Structure 1
Amino acid sequence: MSNRNLTVMILIALVVFVGSRSIYVIKETERGVLLKFGEVVNPNIQPGLHFKVPFVNNVRKFDGRVLTVDSQPEPFFTQEKKALIVDSYAKFKVSDTQKFYTATNGEEARAMGLLAQRINDGLRNEVAVRTIQEVVSGERDQLMLRLADSLRDVVNAELGVELVDVRVKQIDLPRDVSESVYQRMNAEREKEAREHRAQGQELAEGIRAAADREVTVIAANAYRDAQLVRGEGDAIATNTYAEAFNRDPEFYSFTRSLKAYQEAFQGQGDVLLLQPDSEFFRYLKDSSGGK
């Protein structure tokens, strides 16, 4: 290979290398700053194809989408000096690339760490002026809104990021406190259960006593009504017998005697001892019943 061809190849390689170092692309999801010897000369590079001077200019790219910083659970003390373990997260995005680069050197991890620290400080201040009840349920949403409003201008001015939202994922009590709270809650529930059982037993006894009383009253009324009906029936029967007897006393006496004969002779015994002049044989001696 001749020296001329070698020189041409070296020049082509040098041109390709310089060209590759001179062209850069900013995507729609990215934000970027153009540096000149480490100094920001273009803080807001628009998406698209751009050129730079090799070895003079440098480009730093940042994610322009909404990012999430997940803080580690931290202990905070409420107004009653009770400890709570609060786990939170925040949504943010880069709003001022020059300020973001200056404050964090363009490192997302560092920006997340600084933002998480400020969120924890804000949470500590907000939790310190509230009770456990207010933090857990009563004013939880208000706490998040106030925290986001108070931090939004601060992080924008210091870090160059826009705070989109701050949320609490979970609020727990410390392990030792949780155990004591659980035991107290368990004791309260057992006490409440005993009270409900006692009230239920008292109510059951009252219902049972009322039912027994009602059964007794119903049975007494039924017995009274039955006796009245039976008495009326006996009266009607007695009256019927009396009327029948008064119509034909001799016939009534005759049928009574026949019934007595039937009952007396239906037994298995064949001996019957009676006086000859007994009334029992009245109609056997004389069909007319005369004495």
Structure 2
Amino acid sequence: MRRITYLIPVLVLGVVLISSSIFVVDERQRALVLQFGQIRQVIDEPGLNFKIPFIQNVIYYEDRILSLDTAATEVTPSDDRRLVVDAFARYRIVDTEQFNRAVGGGGIRRADDLIEAILTDRIRAVLGADGVTSNTILSSERAGLMQQITLQARARAASLGVEVLDVRLKQTNLPAQNLDATFARMRAEREREAADEIARGEEAAQRIRATADRTVVELTSDAAREAEITRGEADAERTRIFAEAFGQDTEFFDFTRSLTAYERALGENSSFVISPDSEFFGYFDGSAIGGGNSLAPAGQ
């Protein structure tokens, strides 16, 4: 019984020691075994491993590809047109021991800060180089610029024990203070284009109105000429008819012309001071009609 009593603590202590000395590294991780802050073992392969309990400790790092979004960075290309860009990078830890020395206890967060500083510096250097304009950044040449940033960032980040796999520019915008100026310039350009269109429209309208006015004058002149010709032909026809009528019966023609004259001259309340033997009243007393026929009333 006493032996069992001593055995139980020994078994418990053995279980604790064994569990403290065993650790597992899975396929997504790398591990470092540290002893009093010094690296004693680098484990790059997954599996079951051992360490000295209570003396050594294990730090795990990601063996997968990591991603990093950089903060927006303002760059000034060679055409002095400032741009705000932000980037997306992918990297992985390739040297666990060197990575631990570079980041210390900060781990992945410290690594992200260091890599972001490298990316920001390289983005400004590449996009601000001579010959790189804002149009270059926004054109198909952008892929070549991103390749340059990737290569330069990879070389700088090698001292951290990481490999930068790829760098991509996500967005390229104008600074907020430039947006208003750009909008104002665009509005001025559109207003100038609108003014040009209005001026061209007014010019076209003036030409159309001038053509219409000229056409009206020509048509009016042609119509007036045709009217004068028609009126002259009608007067000539009337004169011819009068002449023929006069030639057929001269006395009747004089008679109808006198009746017309009477109709026009003798209206209501008309007064005449004229000699009784005037030729104007020749058809009233019959003196103008052969055979003594008188137009005067009976008993006169």
TM-score, with length taken from structure 2: 0.67
Partner of 1:103: 102
Partner of 2:88: 90
CA 1:87–1:133 in structure 2 vs 1: closer, same or farther (change >3 Å)? Answer: closer
Partner of 1:165: 167
| Equivalence map 1:5-84=2 (5 Å) | 14=13, 17=16, 21=20, 30-35=28-33, 37=35, 38-39=38-39, 41-46=41-46, 50-53=48-51, 55=53, 56=56, 58-62=58-62, 64-71=64-71, 73=73, 78-79=77-78, 84=82
Partner of 1:264: 265
Instruction: Tell me how far apart the structure 2 counterparts of residues 40 and 287 of structure 1 sit (CA, whole Å).
Output: 164
> 2:103·2:110 contact (CA, 8 Å) conserved in 1?
yes
Instruction: Tell me how far apart the structure 2 counterparts of residues 287 and 233 of structure 1 sit (CA, whole Å).
Output: 41
**Residue type of the alignment partner of 1:214:** T
CA 1:27–1:273 in structure 2 vs 1: closer, same or farther (change >3 Å)? Answer: farther
Instruction: Tell me how far apart the structure 1 counterparts of residues 40 and 93 of structure 2 sit (CA, whole Å).
Output: 16
**Residue type of the alignment partner of 2:58:** N
- 1:243 has 2:245 as partner: no
Instruction: Tell me how far apart the structure 2 counterparts of residues 135 and 226 of structure 1 sit (CA, whole Å).
Output: 69
Instruction: Tell me how far apart the structure 2 counterparts of residues 153 and 194 of structure 1 sit (CA, whole Å).
Output: 51
Partner of 2:297: none
> 1:87·1:170 contact (CA, 8 Å) conserved in 2?
yes
Q: Which has the larger radius of gyration?
A: 2
Instruction: Tell me how far apart the structure 2 counterparts of residues 103 and 213 of structure 1 sit (CA, whole Å).
Output: 85
Q: 1:105-150 deviations in whole A, cap 9, x for unaligned?
A: 4711221122122223323432132455456546544322211133
Secondary structure in 2 aligned to 1:68?
strand
CA 1:122–1:283 in structure 2 vs 1: closer, same or farther (change >3 Å)? Answer: same
Instruction: Tell me how far apart the structure 2 counterparts of residues 287 and 244 of structure 1 sit (CA, whole Å).
Output: 27
Question: How far apart are residue 167 of structure 1 and its match?
Answer: 1.6
TM-score, with length taken from structure 1: 0.69
Identify unmatched segments of 5+ residues in structure 2. Answer: 293-300
> 2:137·2:145 contact (CA, 8 Å) conserved in 1?
no
Question: How far apart are residue 9 of structure 1 and its match?
Answer: 6.9
Structure 1 counterpart of 2:218, from 217, 221, 224: 221
Q: Which moved more, 1:14-23 or 1:108-117?
A: 14-23
Question: How far apart are residue 60 of structure 1 and its match?
Answer: 1.0
CA 1:172–1:244 in structure 2 vs 1: closer, same or farther (change >3 Å)? Answer: closer
Give the RMSD, CA atoms, in angstroms: 4.5
> 1:89·1:167 contact (CA, 8 Å) conserved in 2?
yes
Identify unmatched segments of 5+ residues in structure 1. Answer: none
CA 1:243–1:7 in structure 2 vs 1: closer, same or farther (change >3 Å)? Answer: farther
CA 1:201–1:57 in structure 2 vs 1: closer, same or farther (change >3 Å)? Answer: closer
**Residue type of the alignment partner of 2:86:** S
Partner of 1:117: 117
- 1:147 has 2:144 as partner: no
Aligned length: 279
Question: How far apart are residue 173 of structure 1 and its match?
Answer: 5.9
